[in-house]
Amino acid sequence: MVLYKDIVDVIVEEFSQTVDFVAKELDWKNEHVILCYYSSMIDTAVVMEQLQTIQKRFESGKAKWGETAFTKENKFTMKQLKESICAGETVIIFPSSDNMISILLPKIASRGPESPENEYVVRGSHDGFVENLDVNINLIRKKLRSADLKIENRVIGTKSNSTVSIIYLTTKVDTEALDTLKERLDQIETEMMYSSGQLEDYLEDSIWSPFPQFLNTERPDRVIANLVEGKIVILTDSDPTALIGPISLFTFYESPDDFNGRVLVGSFYRLVRLASFFTAIFLPAFYIAVASFHFEIMPLELGEQVKSSVSNIPFRPIFEALLLELMIELIREASIRLPSPIGQTIGVVGGLVIGDAIVSAGLASNLMVIVVASTALASFVVPSVEMNTTIRLLRFPFMVAASLFGFFGIVIGSMILFIHLLNLQSLNQPYLSPVIPFEPKKIKAVFFRLPFYKQIPQHRSFYFFSKKGSKRNG
């Protein structure tokens, strides 16, 4: 008996004597066993039921009595014990035979698969991922009933032991991208894996780029559409966000709504969204350049209006624009942090009251309010939060460049941005595909919602493909 007590003490010590850890002796026919679990991570009734099932199998003398659908037999080691217990399993240790049986039924807290608030769609599925890997995989499998769908797991984080799932369709996946992704996952060395954002940092090709190189989504329908296109999905056990790669810039402008609505309507709004990319980045810079340097470019009447509205403002257009942009950013941040009914009020108060007051006080012109508000609207059109924040950030350097050099500054800035986008890759694949490298057959799918969902694998590299299939690059 002393022997068992010693083992229990050692185990309790190994688990830091935490109050929710339970390790106790149990009678098992002619011997004693030790039962270990975290009381916070199991459902006692379910575990007891399983325990009874195993005991019955043991007593009936079955050959592999310890192996059932929900149990697993292992050699006992302290490392294995820690991994199992931390995963929410209940472990029965058999000191006499140095074996252990794990009951694989952890109780993981999870909410229901509700519609994600940051990716709202008008029509279509309202399912959303949750903070539970099994539920998320279930949501995918529910819609993609294919034996081709393969899921591979990696455990990341020496302390957190977080599970990361790589999901892809074996018949569609681009193997080069898959190998790259696996290689990067295997190279991760960290103690803790907090979120999908942290994982993204490890997996991205260029971490200092303002552009996201993985598509973030909480929508199973979006994940499935991308899986069918040959892309790879990464899910973590602590986050409802799925990372999708390799992607191109244009992937961020596709919304499930495009494919749920009419062909023409979907195409029209796709074009509006793409145009919003340019509006959101360049409109304030363009206005600043015109107001500061290039009045003459506009028709006489409009030029006069701009002149007269600017002449009553005590600041240069750049300060006017920065003031308003900052105000918009503050309103945005405030409305995110507050509960939604108050958040909406903040939006109204900020947008209408402060906006009107700023103009009345003569701190900004009416035209600048129109420009900044249109820019904010254009940036919110993007169906991806990451891309939205990216383009919101990008307009600031363009505004500064326009205030210093006018159109010349915008042109120089645009060229730097373009070269950066040419350099950028997602899992080693070109970010501007299929526009660069130019693929005429695929390009229409970028700008228009075609009458049927045509699954086209993304371009793999900077190569062009000839009719015969030989590849040429640049």
| Sites of contact with other proteins (CB under 8 A) | 293-294, 296-300, 302-303, 405-408, 411-412, 414-416, 418-419, 422-423, 430, 435-438, 462, 464, 466, 470-474
Tokens representing 450 are 């075609």
**Is 23 within 8 Å of 11 (Cβ atoms)?**
yes
Q: Which residues contact 335 (CB under 8 A, 6 or more apart)?
A: 343, 344, 346, 347, 350
Measured CA to CA in angstroms, residue 77 lies from 2, 15, 94 at distances of 20, 14, 11
Q: For the CB of residue 437, give the shortest distance to other proteins in the complex, in Å.
A: 7
Q: For the CB of residue 424, give the shortest distance to other proteins in the complex, in Å.
A: 10
In this complex, which beta carbon is closest to other proteins, that of residue 335 or of residue 429?
A: 429
**Is 164 within 8 Å of 184 (Cβ atoms)?**
no
In this complex, which beta carbon is closest to other proteins, that of residue 265 or of residue 422?
A: 422
Instruction: State the number of CA atoms in the 13 A half-sphere of 62 facing the CB.
Output: 12
Tokens 């500054």 locate to: 409
3-state secondary structure of 139: helix
In this complex, which beta carbon is closest to other proteins, that of residue 366 or of residue 423?
A: 423
Phi, psi (rounded to 5 degrees) for 254: -95, 135
3-state secondary structure of 426: strand
Q: For the CB of residue 405, give the shortest distance to other proteins in the complex, in Å.
A: 7
Q: For the CB of residue 416, give the shortest distance to other proteins in the complex, in Å.
A: 6
Q: For the CB of residue 414, give the shortest distance to other proteins in the complex, in Å.
A: 8
In this complex, which beta carbon is closest to other proteins, that of residue 127 or of residue 205?
A: 205
Among 252, 283, 274, CA closest to 398: 283
* Angle subtended by helix axes 263-292 and 317-337, to nearest 10: 140
Among 249, 245, 213, 241, CA closest to 226: 245
In this complex, which beta carbon is closest to other proteins, that of residue 64 or of residue 467?
A: 467
Q: For the CB of residue 470, give the shortest distance to other proteins in the complex, in Å.
A: 6
In this complex, which beta carbon is closest to other proteins, that of residue 156 or of residue 399?
A: 399
28 sits in which H/E element: strand 21-28
3-state secondary structure of 443: helix
In this complex, which beta carbon is closest to other proteins, that of residue 120 or of residue 408?
A: 408
